[in-house]
Amino acid sequence: MERLKVLVLEDDKLAQKIMASRLADHDVAVAGDLKTALKKLESEPFDIGFFDLMLGPDDDYSGLKAIAAAAAKGVHAVVVSSSDSDEIIDRAYELGARDFYAKGNEDANVADILRKVTQARRSAAAPDVFASAFITGDAALKADVGEALKYAPTDLPIMLLGPSGTGKTSLARVLHERSGREGAFVAINCSAYTEDLLEAELFGYRKGAFTGAADSRKGRLLEAHKGTLFLDEIGTMSANMQMKLLKAIEERSFHPLGSDKPERSDFRIISATLEDPQDLIARGRMRFDLFQRVHGYTVNLRPLADRPADIFLLAQHFMKGGRRLSFTAEAKKAMEAYAWPGNVRELKKFVDLLASGQEGRVGLEAVKKLLKGGARAEAPRGGPLDALYADALKRGLEAALESVSDELVIRNLNENGGKRTKTLADLKISTRLLYATMKRRGLDSQGD
């Protein structure tokens, strides 16, 4: 880990010793009183400051003054104090504190802060992610991914939604690379295995655990220790496997097949699915408790056809270091109008084929020859209101609104684990509407 310059403001000698031990891999300066801390902040550059607030039994939270001084110097100011009333927390943040922790769990908290600060410094120095590791010029996608990157150095699970070929694996890898986690990025496509094989892949097995298990093998969960486990197409997992995975996530421990000895693994989950998880839950294909465990922050990767500016940006990127092509205006128009059902993956294949072809100048004929599928359907442009409008024109306003109402009610019911009284209160709807919705959706209307 990168060596950081850290200031600790703490009057208690034992607490000073504990912080110094926890920060042994960094350059630590300890100040026992406010005056010394302010002097050090004035004369030396620091990356992080850990500040106690009450410096002595009769002190009046003088540590607060150090927060403002540190924040003014760009130091990541962290309060570690036993004074954790709402009023003090508010004052500390107003003065520029970046984090506030109650004393008593320094082992985990200090490690978290160090990882977060180190990663933020690395990210600031790293090349623009949208011009290198995850190419896009789409403003909405940039904002969404940018927000997800803020959670990269945390343990929060991230869920990536989008059709096949939109770059979910690439994004998962970027999130791992910016996580600061020292372990590996381990990816598994859940749809590529039968239930038994998936269990063996995820949890591993001991020699002789089943016919054909000639040797013991480490599972993906263990390979992802201190790293990231990327579960692609999580929605295809059987209910039984979902239950086993949920248990492993909750307990951070599992039994390889044929083993009595549990294995422990500290992995971070990033998951992806092609389908709407709420729909999967409504249809009983995804356990709600598993969804809750894996959906911390969600990124929606829209189809390539919905972000035409990315088509040429990505095409240019795929040609880097190889043969450069030029597209005629007609060719460009045809590419923009194409549906790209295989998304970025299809575009890459398309560019590779053109780059190995005869002509460097690509015309309409060459494009038509390779893009045999249809043009993009004139679907409603953009947001959900456009889709709703199109539906209202097609089926009538009442039917369109009823579908939306049904979706919202079913979603809330699922989120509440089927508790109807909670849904009635949450959505402020009548019992009549709730039961009519359940009847339309074929749900049992007995009990709560």
For other proteins, the closer of residues 20 and 38 by Cβ is 20
Token output for 406: 């049904």
For other proteins, the closer of residues 14 and 385 by Cβ is 14
- Choosing from 2, 21, 139, 146, the residue that interacts with other proteins (CB under 8 A) is 21
Give the interface segment with other proteins, choosing from 14-22, 129-137, 250-258, 350-358 (CB under 8 A): 14-22
Nearest to 156 by CA among 271, 301, 242: 271
d(CA 211, CA 208): 7
For other proteins, the closer of residues 89 and 213 by Cβ is 89
Residue 370 sits in the site that holds other proteins (CB under 8 A): no
For other proteins, the closer of residues 107 and 147 by Cβ is 107
For other proteins, the closer of residues 57 and 127 by Cβ is 57
User: What is the end-to-end Cα distance of the chain in Å, rounded?
Assistant: 53
For other proteins, the closer of residues 105 and 316 by Cβ is 105
Residue 367 CB-half CA count within 13 A: 22
Token output for 179: 């996580």
Residue found by looking up tokens 């082992």 in the block: 107
Rounded to the nearest whole angstrom, what is the least distance from the CB of residue 31 to other proteins in the complex? 17
Give the interface segment with other proteins, choosing from 6-14, 166-174, 307-315, 435-443 (CB under 8 A): 6-14
Distance of CA 42 to the CA centre of its chain: 39
For other proteins, the closer of residues 112 and 195 by Cβ is 112
- Choosing from 1, 3, 17, 253, the residue that interacts with other proteins (CB under 8 A) is 17
**Contact present, 228 and 187 (Cβ < 8 Å):** no
Rounded to the nearest whole angstrom, what is the least distance from the CB of residue 279 to other proteins in the complex? 46
As beta bridge partners, residue 188 has 231
Rounded to the nearest whole angstrom, what is the least distance from the CB of residue 82 to other proteins in the complex? 4
Say what the alpha-carbon torsion angle 308, 314, 315, 317 is, to the nearest 10 degrees: 160
d(CA 214, CA 191): 25
Strands of 137-184, DSSP E: 158-161
Give the interface segment with other proteins, choosing from 75-83, 133-141, 177-185, 429-437 (CB under 8 A): 75-83
Rounded to the nearest whole angstrom, what is the least distance from the CB of residue 253 to other proteins in the complex? 21
For other proteins, the closer of residues 57 and 321 by Cβ is 57
For other proteins, the closer of residues 17 and 395 by Cβ is 17
- Choosing from 7, 8, 9, 18, the residue that interacts with other proteins (CB under 8 A) is 18
Rounded to the nearest whole angstrom, what is the least distance from the CB of residue 151 to other proteins in the complex? 28
Q: Tell me which residues in 76-115 interact with other proteins (CB under 8 A).
A: 81-83, 103-104, 106-107
Hey, what amino acid is at 101?
Y
Q: Residues in contact with other proteins, total (CB under 8 A)?
A: 19
For other proteins, the closer of residues 105 and 421 by Cβ is 105
Q: Tell me which residues in 248-287 interact with other proteins (CB under 8 A).
A: none
Helix axes 420-427, 397-415, angle to 10 degrees: 120
Q: CA of 244: how far to CAs of 24, 285, 293, 332, in Å?
A: 39, 15, 13, 49
Give the interface segment with other proteins, choosing from 12-20, 62-70, 191-199, 298-306 (CB under 8 A): 12-20
Rounded to the nearest whole angstrom, what is the least distance from the CB of residue 342 to other proteins in the complex? 53
Token output for 447: 């009990």
Q: Tell me which residues in 24-63 interact with other proteins (CB under 8 A).
A: 52, 54, 57-58
Exposure string of 269-300, with b = 16+ CB inside 10 Å and e = fewer, is bbbbbbbebbbbbbeebbbbebbebbbbbebe
Rounded to the nearest whole angstrom, what is the least distance from the CB of residue 75 to other proteins in the complex? 23
Give the interface segment with other proteins, choosing from 16-24, 180-188, 244-252, 287-295 (CB under 8 A): 16-24
For other proteins, the closer of residues 64 and 175 by Cβ is 64
d(CA 336, CA 339): 8
Q: CA of 344: how far to CAs of 152, 158, 253, 347, in Å?
A: 23, 21, 37, 5
Nearest to 224 by CA among 258, 247, 189, 252: 252
Nearest to 74 by CA among 104, 96, 51: 96
Rounded to the nearest whole angstrom, what is the least distance from the CB of residue 57 to other proteins in the complex? 5
Binding site for other proteins (CB under 8 A): 12-15, 17-18, 21-22, 52, 54, 57-58, 81-83, 103-104, 106-107
